[in-house]
Amino acid sequence: MRLLHTMLRVGNLDRSIAFYTEVLGMELLRQKEYPEGKFTLAFLGYGDEKHHTALELTYNWNTDNYDVGNGFGHLAIEVDDVYLAAERIRSQGGKIIREPGPMNAGTTLLAFVADPDGYEIELLQEKS
């Protein structure tokens, strides 16, 4: 068994695809419209779906926002250097919601950013 994908509902598919590809460096793997169901699915990731977990963005036509809720935590992305990654994201207009540094009561280096819909993404520095 393996984890195939995580799904997020988004209010503006083009804006979200731009964020995940241009700011976080993912690749748009595939996208399909479902006119009967009035929704579009876009799958993004850092490699092919046969070997990597994907992020599924679901855009329900005519729905422009969602309540993120308090049950969802965050997505996590490993980065080489959390300080450089946060600065690059900030320079591209990304919203840093927790500045880079050691985690509370630990030594792991991390930062948090928010995507255009308010979903939190944890940046974790690769352990050496």
Which residue numbers are catalytic?
122
SS3 label, residue 85:
helix
SS3 label, residue 74:
coil
Structure tokens belonging to residue 57: 């963005």
What is the Cα–Cα distance from 87 to 92, expressed in whole angstroms? 9
Question: Cα dist. 53→1, 18, 39, 50, 99 in Å?
Answer: 12, 19, 22, 8, 26
Q: Which distant-in-sequence residues (6+ apart) come within 8 Å of 34 by Cβ?
A: 40, 41
Structure tokens belonging to residue 113: 């950013």
What is the Cα–Cα distance from 50 to 104, expressed in whole angstroms? 35
